[in-house]
């Protein structure tokens, strides 16, 4: 004999809960119909660097501290992973933080993007073929 456990909500669903769930399901169906690719939410990783770095696909928030000298953040090779990175200069020095694609890859058609002032930041995303500033 098989025993099945049933997960019960601590309260009966309200009309609002039911409407919210129905709208969520319609939104997902609409996105699927348009061919949208959904990505699951996950916790974001924060990495702080004081020297030039080549970042990987698992990183997403890069805090660049160029107090000791200019530095370069090199993005991973563009891939079908549709990745997104946030890169921010956190120091008050006049040292530049340069963001560049790997090899001949570009960011918004440019070889490099330079962050010069404290709290300058960019968000770059890949569509699987190239990087764009959002």
CATH code of the domain covering residue 73: 2.60.120.640
Q: Is residue 63 part of a domain?
A: yes
Q: Is residue 21 part of a domain?
A: no
SS3 state of residue 114: strand
Q: How far is CA 18 from CA 6, 15, 41, in A?
A: 19, 5, 23
Q: Is residue 20 part of a domain?
A: no
Q: Is residue 114 part of a domain?
A: yes
* Structural domains of the chain, count: 1
Q: Which of 12-21, 67-76, 125-134 has the highest mean pLDDT?
A: 67-76
Instruction: State pTM to two decimals.
Output: 0.68
Q: Is residue 127 part of a domain?
A: yes
Q: Is residue 25 part of a domain?
A: no
Can you give the residue range of the structural domain that contains 55? 46-133
Residues in the chain: 134
* pLDDT tens digit sequence for 78-124: 875 678 899 999 999 999 999 999 988 999 999 999 999 999 999 99
Residue 36 in contact with residue 23, Cβ under 8 Å?
no
Q: pLDDT tier at 45 (50, 70, 90 boundaries)?
A: confident
Q: Is residue 117 part of a domain?
A: yes
């Amino acid at each position: 004999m098989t025993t099945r456990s049933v997960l019960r909500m601590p309260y009966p669903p309200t009309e609002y809960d039911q409407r919210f769930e129905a709208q969520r399901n319609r939104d997902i169906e609409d996105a699927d119909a348009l061919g949208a690719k959904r990505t699951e939410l996950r916790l974001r990783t924060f990495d702080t660097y004081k020297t030039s770095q080549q970042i990987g696909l698992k990183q997403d928030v890069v805090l660049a501290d160029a107090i000791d000298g200019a530095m370069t953040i090199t993005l991973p090779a563009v891939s079908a992973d549709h990745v997104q990175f946030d890169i921010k200069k956190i120091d008050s020095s006049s040292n530049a933080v340069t963001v560049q694609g790997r090899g001949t890859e570009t960011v918004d058609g440019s070889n490099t993007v330079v962050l010069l002032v404290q709290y300058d930041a960019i968000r770059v995303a890949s569509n699987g073929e190239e990087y764009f500033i959002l």
